[in-house]
Structure 1
Amino acid sequence: MNLPATGRRVLVSGASRGLGRAVAQAFAANGDRVAVHYGSREDEARRTLDSLAGDGHVLVGGDLSDPAQAELIASRAADGLGGLDVLVNNAAVNERHPLAETSYEQWAEIWQRHVAVNLLATANLSHLAARRMIDAGTGGRIVNIGSRGAFRGEPDHPAYGATKAAVHALGQSLAVSLAPYGIGVASVAPGFFDTERVAHRLAGAEGEAIRAQSPFGRVATADEVAAAVRWLASPEAEWSSGTVLDVNGASYLRT
């Protein structure tokens, strides 16, 4: 069960912009072919697709919170690429909902949405991709995008922190169960990183406070996080299966 170093078939969920785009670009630059998934931002996903080095990449759309659509997404990605060697579970929602400021109705809706997208969609895509890897008999990699917030707490985004902690636990469980098939599973736990979605938060006093969380005095780039993802998906990273890799510039240290 030898995973190739290049020319792999990679599905990246939530790849229309931000970290997902950076991850797709990192794999394409490595000589891999990428299925760019999007939920609703087709135009932005096409820009991601157009930015990728090489050829043979495909675009797949669909709502991952729906198990039936998740199955279609995996099928279209595998059909378009001729199989799947790597899955990157990047798609996620992150809505602000501090308990004291959120009505119960909003609270329940937000929690259901976070669980459906951040956790259940990750579990479902992992099953769909791993089943194909098992049947192919060539091994593979699954890399989940977790969060520093799973460890330090997210008072304004508790459902995000909780579901990311669950994603870490899911990845470790799958790492044990899928190792006999040559499939490595790992997670990255990024701290704050710069994307267009959070650019407004990095301006002014809030931005200064965010940058001060790291002794480096800055936040990460999406490319730095994507590089960690690509390494965890590499043949050399098999013995790191089960790990949760902190990528936070020493802004939060676990014991």
Structure 2
Amino acid sequence: MTIDFTGKTVLITGGSRGIGKACALLFASLNANVIITYNTDQDTAERTLTELGHSGNHGLYQLNQSQPKNVERFFNKVLQHYPQIDVLVNNAGVYIEHKINEVTYEDWLQSWEDTIATNLNGVANLCFFASRHMIHNGEGKIINISSRGAFRGEPDHPAYAASKAGLNAMSQSLAVTLAPHEVSVHVIAPGFVETDMTSELLSSEAGEAIKKQSPYNRVATAEEVARLAAMYASPGMEFTTAGIIDLNGASYLRT
């Protein structure tokens, strides 16, 4: 099976590093036009854009998706330069520690507000504009990056777990609504993933314990998540819509 995205445009939020960067590099290597967003680190984003090469019509945009008006302005701007968005990969998110027995009430409220605004509301708004565009075009793929935390919980990051559980439910609801329009919605739920942001933790004693959660004695690579995203985005995978695929190396099992 050969996957080729020639002529297709893929939008990846949080595409400058980690899972998003791995997705961007893979889709670009498969001949897609790749659009990546970043929130604050423009230098890193520009380096990633350079790594995508010059063979496609790649683009870079700043986006703080926690603000609804930002999402609307972003889509209007992107669609001035790209006639069609074929795939949306919702990868951007925040992971804020807020232990209920340690933080103040003010910090507790702020952590919930910031997390839900980005991880759930922001993704919902991106799905709104992308799906309206895809319905008009008669096809499209939305791939949402969730987490095993949606199922097992995140004791030190409860808002993150709640946001990802909400993301799962929203994705399945949208899948039902959008299927008659040939737009499919897919969810990937990784466990720990080795990225530049987790490398220090994973190289520590605590990291060794995290790796041992899987019988493979390791965590996922960002490239493994990217390959699954590319598979979902390819033709012929539409009937997997509403599915939530675990990618955690059997570190957490559910039925």
- Say yes or no: TM over 0.5: yes
| Structural mapping, 1:141-180, within 5 Å | 141-180=141-180
Letter in 2 for 1:75: N
Equivalent position of 1:78 in the other structure: 79
CA distance in 1, matches of 2:23, 2:7: 15
Output the TM-score relative to the length of structure 1.
0.96
How many Å apart are 1:80 and its aligned residue? 2.5
Give the drift of 1:146: 0.2
Q: Within 5 A, what are the aligned runs for 1:82-231? A: 82-137=83-138, 139-231=139-231
1:167-198: CA deviation from partner (whole Å, max 9, x where unpaired)? 01111000000000000001100010101111
Q: Report if aligned partners of 1:5, 1:235 keep a CA contact under 8 Å in 2.
A: no
C-alpha contact 2:34 2:59 (8 A) present in aligned 1: yes
The separation in 2 between residues aligned to 1:109 and 1:190, in whole angstroms, is: 26
Cα contact 1:15–1:37 (8 A) shared by 2: yes
Structure 1 segments of 4+ aligned residues over 6 angstroms from their partners: none
Q: 1:57: which partner in 2? A: 58
Residue in 1 aligned with 2:22? Answer: 22
Paired amino acid for 1:191: G
Aligned partner letter, 1:66: Q
Structure 2 CA distance for aligned equivalents of residues 45 and 218 of structure 1: 28
| SS of aligned partner of 2:198 | helix
CA contact (8 A) 2:9 2:84 kept: yes
List alignment gaps of at least 5 residues for structure 1.
Answer: none
Partner of 2:66, secondary structure, is coil
For the residues of structure 1 that align with 2:74 and 2:41, how far apart are their CA atoms?
15
**For residue 238 of structure 1, what is the aligned residue in structure 2?**
238
- Distance in 2, matches of 1:76 and 1:254, equals 41
Q: Give, in angstroms, the shift of residue 5 of structure 1.
A: 4.6
1:65-107, CA deviations, whole angstroms, 9 ceiling, x for partnerless residues? Answer: 1111111222233332322111111110001111111111000
Question: Which of 39-48 and 145-154 deviates more?
Answer: 39-48
Alpha-carbon separation, structure 1, partners of 2:192 and 2:97? 15
AA in 1 matched with 2:153: G
For 2:184, the aligned partner's letter is G
Structure 2 segments unaligned to the other structure (5+ residues): none
User: Matches of 2:58 and 2:166 in 1, distance apart?
Assistant: 31
Per the TM alignment, residue 16 of structure 1 is displaced from its structure 2 partner at its CA by 1.6
Opposite residue 14 of structure 1, the aligned amino acid is G
Q: CA RMSD in A?
A: 1.2
Distance 1:148 1:104 in 2: 27
Letter in 2 for 1:173: S
Count how many residue pairs are aligned between Structure 1 and Structure 2: 251
The separation in 2 between residues aligned to 1:184 and 1:225, in whole angstroms, is 18
Post-superposition offset of 1:15: 1.0
**Is this contact kept in 1: 2:31–2:56, CA < 8 A?**
no
The Cα shift of 1:40 comes to 1.0
**Which amino acid is the alignment partner of residue 204 of structure 1?**
S
1: CA distance between counterparts of 2:78 and 2:17? 18
> What letter matches 1:85 in structure 2?
D
State the 1:7 CA deviation: 2.4
Identity %: 46
Per-residue CA distance 1:18-43 (angstroms, 9 max, x = gap) = 11111111111111101111111111
